[in-house]
Amino acid sequence: GGITAAQKINALAEAYQVPVVPHAGQMHNYHLTMANLNCPMSEFFPVHDVEVGNELFYYIFDGDPEPEDGHIDLSDDTPGLGLSLSDRHLDDFNILE
């Protein structure tokens, strides 16, 4: 899995002119969408409407882009995927050692 496997899938799909829309919003999929011509769009799920099971991403990371006029822009000034760890919800979880 991961970004490398997704890029291989995108390359194969592009060779056969098949569009790819990565499932689930999240930052790694936004980068895949913007890096591949055969990805016409990316899914987006607002934080207040997170499906059960995917909400952990939004609790532990900061930096997810906000849509503006139906579009998402990724920053060229932020390293990596553009995310940073957040501790703002730390008190909401039980930490086991």
Annotation says 23 is catalytic:
yes
Tokens at 57, concatenated: 């991403």
Residue 64 scores a pLDDT above 90: no
Closest CA to 25 of 64, 70, 68, 69: 64
Q: Please determine, for residue 49, whether its predicted confidence score (pLDDT) is greater than 80.
A: no
DSSP string, 69-87: TTB----SSS-TTS-EE--
Judged against a pLDDT cut of 80, whether residue 27 lies above it is answered with: yes
Best CATH choice for the domain 2-92 from the list 3.20.20.120, 2.102.10.10, 3.40.30.10, 3.40.720.10? 3.20.20.120
Q: Which of 23, 28, 31, 71 is catalytic?
A: 23
Query: What are the domain boundaries of the chain?
Result: 2-92
Q: Quick one: 14 exposed, middle or buried, by C-beta within 10 A (0-12, 13-18, 19+)?
A: middle
Count of CA atoms in the C-beta half-sphere (13 A) of 92: 9
Residue 31 has pLDDT above 60, yes or no: yes
pLDDT at 84: 92
Q: If you average pLDDT over every residue of the chain, what do you get?
A: 86
CB-based contact 53:73 (threshold 8 Å): no
Average pLDDT estimate for 39-61: 76
How confident is residue 12, by pLDDT bands cut at 50, 70 and 90?
very high
SS3 content of the chain, % helix, strand, coil (to 5): 35, 5, 60
Report the pLDDT value the prediction gives residue 53, as an integer from 0 to 100. Answer: 62
Looking at residue 4, what is its pLDDT? 94
